[in-house]
Amino acid sequence: MSFFKFLLSVLLIFVSTLRAQEIRIAVSDLIAGYIHDPLKTHADEYEFMLDIESIGSLPALDKLRSDEVDLAIIAMPEDIRSQSSEFTICPFAYDASLVLVNQSNPIQDISINQLGGIFGSREELSVSTWGRLGFSGLGSRNINPLVGISENSITLELFKHRALKGSSLNTNVTIDKVDNIEALIISNVSSIAIMPFTPIKSDIKALMISKDSESPAFGPTPNNIHHGDYPIRMPYCIAYNQYDEAKLISLIRKLLEDEVAYHLETNGIFPLPPNVRRKLVMELELE
C-alpha cells in the first residue's frame, strides 16, 4: 500500500470515528429547554458530540425520516403517531391540563362535557351556576371560570381541543398568568381554573375528571396520566430508527433517569412514573 493510500485510509477511519461520536437530536420546542442541560452534561461525561435542535414535531419527524437527526423527542397526538409507524417509539413525558378549585369547594370530580358547558361558547350547553351541575354545596352561586397560562405552556390549546371540541372559549373566561389565577382561586370559592400544574398550596385542589357521565373519574396522578385514564393529556415520545439503537441506548437511558424527570416536573411537564422508566431501561438493556 502506498503512503498516500495509507494516509487516506487513516483519514477515513478518523472521520468515521468522529461521526460515530456525534448524536443529532431534534426536540419539540415545547420542552427542549427543560432537558438541554442534563443532556449536554451527559455528552461531556461520555465524550461524544451532541447536536440538539429545538423544532416542531412534524419537522422533527421529517428530519428523522431523511436521516438528518438520529433521535427525535416530539409531541405525539394520534394524528402524528400514525405518521411515525416506521420508527421505534418510546414514551417519554406528558403535558396535561389540570382543573383546579378552592379547597373549600365541595366538588371532587367533573366530566369533560360539564367542563365544556362551563368554559365553552355553545349556548345550548352553557352552564353558569354550580347548581346547574347538580352540586348543591354552592347553591346558585355563579361559576367563575379561569385559565392560567405560563411560558411555552399548551394548557389552554390542549383543553380546548379535548373539552370544547371546536367551539371557542366563553367570553366570561378570565385568562391570566398562573400566579394571578392562583390568587383568584384562593379568594373566590366559586372559581374553577384550567392550569398547567397544581400549585403547592393547601387551599387549592385538583379535580378528578371523567371522559363522560357514565365513566369513572380519575385524578392527575403520574400513573393515571401515563395510562390515559386522566383524559386531558398529550404524550411526548422518543422516536428513532431501530438500527441506531446501539448508538443511542446510553442517551435514551439518560433521558429516563430521575435527573431529567426532575427538570421536566419542575417546569410543569409530567414525566413517566419511576417504575415505568425503570422497566423501559431494563427492556432496552435486555435487547
Q: Which CATH number is 145's domain given?
A: 3.40.190.10
Same domain, 107 and 213: yes
Please state, in angstroms and rounded to a whole number, the distance separating the CA atoms of residues 280 and 32.
21
Does any domain span residue 276? yes
Same domain, 80 and 105: no
Per-residue pLDDT tens for 33-58?
A: 888 888 888 777 766 788 889 999 88
Same domain, 115 and 87: no
> Average model confidence (pLDDT) for the chain?
87
Q: CA 267, 268, 274, 276 torsion: positive or negative?
A: negative
Does any domain span residue 23? yes
Which is more confident, 45 or 96? 96
Angle at which helix 245-255 crosses helix 274-286, to 10 degrees, equals 160
Nearest to 251 by CA among 31, 101, 44, 100: 44
Helix (H, G, I), strand (E, B) or coil at 98: strand
pLDDT value of residue 138: 77
- Domain limit, last residue, from 190, 209, 226: 226
Same domain, 201 and 109: yes
| Structural domain for 119, as ranges | 99-226
pLDDT value of residue 62: 92
Per-residue pLDDT tens for 212-255?
A: 888 999 999 999 999 999 999 999 999 999 989 888 998 999 99
Pairing status of strand 270-271 against strand 88-96: antiparallel
Same domain, 134 and 178: yes
Q: What is the pTM of this model?
A: 0.86
Classify residue 268 as left (phi > 0), alpha (psi -120 to 50) or beta.
left
142 pLDDT more than 60: yes
Same domain, 130 and 194: yes
The answer to whether 195 and 100 are in contact (CB under 8 A) is yes
Per-residue pLDDT tens for 101-110?
A: 999 999 999 9
Does any domain span residue 203? yes
Same domain, 155 and 220: yes
Cα–Cα separations (whole angstroms), residue 13 to 16, 24, 247: 5, 20, 17
3 pLDDT more than 60: no
The answer to whether 211 and 231 are in contact (CB under 8 A) is yes
pLDDT value of residue 2: 58
Same domain, 170 and 203: yes
Same domain, 262 and 172: no
Domain count, the chain: 2
Q: CA 36, 38, 41, 43 torsion: positive or negative?
A: negative
Same domain, 35 and 53: yes
Same domain, 78 and 107: no
